Amino acid sequence: MATSNFIDYIKIYCKSGDGGSGSVHFRREKYLPKGGPDGGDGGKGGDIIMKGNSNLWTLLHLRYTRHLRAENGGSGGGMRSTGSDGKNIIIEVPLGTIAKDFETGAFINEITEHGQEVVLLKGGRGGMGNDHFKTATNQTPKYAQTGEEGLEAQIIFELKILADVGLVGFPNAGKSTLLSVVSAAKPEIANYPFTTLRPNLGIVSYRDNQSFVMADIPGIIEGAAEGKGLGLRFLRHIERNSILLFMVPIDSDDITAEYKILLRELQKYNPELLDKNRILAITKSDMLDDELIEEVKQQLPDDLPVVFISSVTGKGLQSLKDIIWKELTA
């Protein structure tokens, strides 16, 4: 699928429906020429609702949606008849989508389950008809309530990918290659920075017909938390991953330093990311024999699991899956 088909950020002007006006009406029948008030209430305005759909993986279907207005409630009628409620507008989104107010940046709500519904903007209440306002001293009120106006806001819909494992590394660390080998996903792979311009998801098969979801997040560079490179555009996807798999190639000038730079960028973006379980994979390890691997191990951090892998030869991939599964089920 084309790269441009992955849309993870949309801004839409939304307005819920106005409530219908109450009715000013009096009962008039053949043998009751001067009946009392019987004006009905106005209907409720339609809501703007966000709904989860597990069959969606992008906000592409909303790409050209700029304005959404829910239907207004109907006016009340005689004989205490209530106006019809305005139709709701339901915005279907992928799981992992959050809604925010564009003006204030305030978080509104998020969708994490299929079929989950969240009311973003409630429709206005319908006004009361004149039947509600009769009293002992005013038995023929000639007024009713107008309907309550609906709410309006510019709402940002932002997708944060839900995955068990998020791949974190600089461009060309081998993330896309790993995903293509351990799953059926087919991300674009080439030997230049930022080949991956959108997150890719793959389902990784494990023992006894079990599986987990792995996400290839586009490469981070130093300064990403300040918006350099692809910056903030993709760092948010890492927030929804259960485990972070850091990937550093064996031919890096300094493996530990590169790992710490990646860690620092995540910390600057969101310190809570450091609370997630982490694994360090040293890629392209088919270049080394066992003796060299032992030497390299002495220089690596000892506060997280480390595995040496090669996506080309398959070296260490089963060990990597075992470590991931252990961390996921711990």
CA dihedral defined by 108, 113, 115, 118, rounded to 10 degrees? -10
pLDDT value, residue 2: 39
Query: What is the percent of the chain with per-residue pLDDT over 90, rounded to a whole number?
Result: 59
Query: What is the chain's alpha carbon radius of gyration, rounded to the nearest angstrom?
Result: 29
Question: How big is the CA angle at 169 (ends 166 and 172), to the nearest 5 degrees?
Answer: 120
Mean of the per-residue pLDDT values for the chain? 87
Confidence tier at 229 by pLDDT (50, 70, 90): very low
CA dist 65 to 2, 10, 92, 99, 157, Å? Answer: 20, 9, 12, 15, 12
> pLDDT digit string (tens) for 60-107?
899 999 999 999 999 999 999 999 999 999 999 999 999 999 999 999
Top CATH class of 163-329 equals alpha beta
**Contacts (Cβ under 8 Å, ≥6 apart) of 226:** 268
Cα(9)–Cα(249) distance, integer angstroms: 31
> pLDDT digit string (tens) for 126-171?
999 999 999 999 999 999 999 999 999 999 999 988 789 999 888 8
What average pLDDT does the segment 236-253 reach? 88
Confidence tier at 30 by pLDDT (50, 70, 90): confident
Tell me, what DSSP letter sits at residue 177? Answer: H
CB 258 within 8 A of CB 252: yes
What average pLDDT does the segment 20-28 reach? 94
Instruction: Report whether pLDDT(295) > 50.
Output: yes
Confidence tier at 266 by pLDDT (50, 70, 90): confident
Domain boundaries along the sequence of the chain: 1-159, 163-329
**Contacts (Cβ under 8 Å, ≥6 apart) of 288:** 250, 296, 308
How buried is residue 31: exposed, middle or buried, by Cβ count under 10 Å (0-12/13-18/19+)?
Answer: exposed
CATH numeric code, 1-159: 2.70.210.12
pLDDT value, residue 10: 96
Q: Which two tokens stand for residue 47?
A: 């809501």
Cα(325)–Cα(330) distance, integer angstroms: 8
pLDDT value, residue 5: 63
**Contacts (Cβ under 8 Å, ≥6 apart) of 320:** 245, 279, 281, 307, 309
Query: What is the percent of the chain with per-residue pLDDT over 70, rounded to a whole number?
Result: 89
